[in-house]
Structure 1
């Protein structure tokens, strides 16, 4: 990955590159080649060459970046800091949409202005020195102007600045338990302090977060291995485990046999 301040390029020929995180700022991504799969909760979307997608801030997601047909995965991303957004939308109208849509990925409509914006950034990644701060600010301003021109609905996401409010804990955890995230992040994303999160969790699930998450993740893993016939290497990360040895140990402790020992007729 080559990075120029708040503008960076990903260029990988690896078979797959998987990454999971919560970003505190909006990110605008344009794909030049390969495929980008974004998973959040039980939803998965795939974006291809030519697509431009806006990833909202504070969104828990897993990305899988894959080369396609011998071409590397290649994209350019622009991080959109709040200070730039607040200044840009200070005297502009902001569209109203449903609250749930504000936290969803948004595909920005194809447009020559978008192609020109991202195409103009490519030469900078051949430079050895850092992209000047002043130029980054200009490119962020250009990006916001282009988005506001080609897709006004994006303003509903970019032009609002509320932090996550307290939401339905049971619904959120049932939809996102498979993400490998620290408890303080789950607390933040559900609009709670860590102490309140643990207390509310106990009241809702009659269990500690750690025990409940492990049982839910292993249950999903068992289903993927037995019913969907997925490979172990494709399962353990997708259900929230960091490494295969920890996954195998926890799986055997829970079910009495290792993932590789699941019989076809079980």
Structure 2
């Protein structure tokens, strides 16, 4: 189950008023969330996921591509990618509110369904990592039908959970095979250690060659796998993250621009200032002054 980390945009624990799961074979197959604060973070997807938003909206970013999943919309999120997400809110009694359901669809379950339903599905040669569509009337009714199961989810057995997942797959097959084609795509999947390697060393002055070695890959394999996960070349993604960290340090510490520059592994102060201005619209020193005034 791919559970969104329960952190607010301020880094605090989200006060979920409802977070319940239906379990199949030891994993959380269907999970419902309701909370009253905005959430944001990053998530590496180890399994294929369907996200249904029933109130509010969730903004998803995969590399340079951005998507909005609004109320009564669903998103297919392909396994072995890293996404950034941030919620927008609906309103209930003048309080911000977001509700969504996450369904994890493992390959073996999908193959069992395809065999049982006698459906012919051929994976596409190129399938998008993220797709957003309207849930439609049938799927919206399906989502509504799940609410009864979340009253006492601990009493719902695995057999019934599997039936509900098969029901979902029947609905998906009825609106076209696109998502089923993505679910049975078994082309090479990318080892998740690439994400931990990069993110643990994001502030270190390591070359791409050194990062590739740490991730157990050749440089070409590292670049290929990184692009598949992040939808962005490694040098561009690392530079973006270092600039975001620089922005944070300029706003929250007394470190000098020079110290920030070399702490984050930039080549020189001039190079750092040029990149920072290009990304944020102001050079570092001016950005700090504006932050102090604000």
The answer to whether TM tops 0.5 is: yes
Counterpart of 2:121 in structure 1 is 94
Counterpart contact for 1:27–1:56, Cα < 8 Å: yes
Could you tell me the TM-score, scaled by structure 2's length?
0.61
Instruction: Write the mapping of 1:1-266 to structure 2, written as runs, cut at 5 A.
Output: 1-5=19-23, 6-14=29-37, 16-69=38-91, 70-90=95-115, 91-95=118-122, 97-99=124-126, 102-127=127-152, 129-164=154-189, 181-183=195-197, 194-197=215-218, 215-219=239-243, 232=248, 250=260, 253-254=263-264, 261=288
Normalising by structure 1, we get a TM-score of 0.67
The alpha-carbon distance between structure 1 residues 211 and 155, as it changes in their structure 2 partners (threshold 3 A), is closer
The question of whether the paired residues in 2 share the 8 Å contact of 1:25 and 1:80 is answered with yes
Deviation at 1:58, TM superposition (A): 1.2
RMSD: 4.2
Pick the structure with more helix per residue: 1
Unaligned runs of at least 5 residues, structure 2: 1-18, 24-28, 201-211, 224-233, 274-283
Match of 2:226 in 1: none
Q: State the shift of 1:185 in Å.
A: 9.1
Per the TM alignment, residue 197 of structure 1 is displaced from its structure 2 partner at its CA by 4.5
Tell me the number of residue pairs that the alignment of Structure 1 and Structure 2 aligns.
222
Aligned equivalents of 1:139, 1:128: Cα separation in 2: 13
Distance 2:77 2:221 in 1: 29
Q: CA deviation at 1:259?
A: 9.3
Larger C-alpha radius of gyration, 1 or 2? 2
Equivalent residue, structure 2, for 1:239: none
Stretches of structure 1 that go unaligned for 5 or more consecutive residues are 167-179, 203-209, 226-231, 237-243
Deviation of the 1:137 alpha carbon: 0.6
Whole-angstrom distance in 2 between the partners of 1:157 and 1:66: 27
Distance change (3 Å), C-alpha of 1:258 and 1:127:
farther
CA distance in 2, matches of 1:147, 1:112: 12
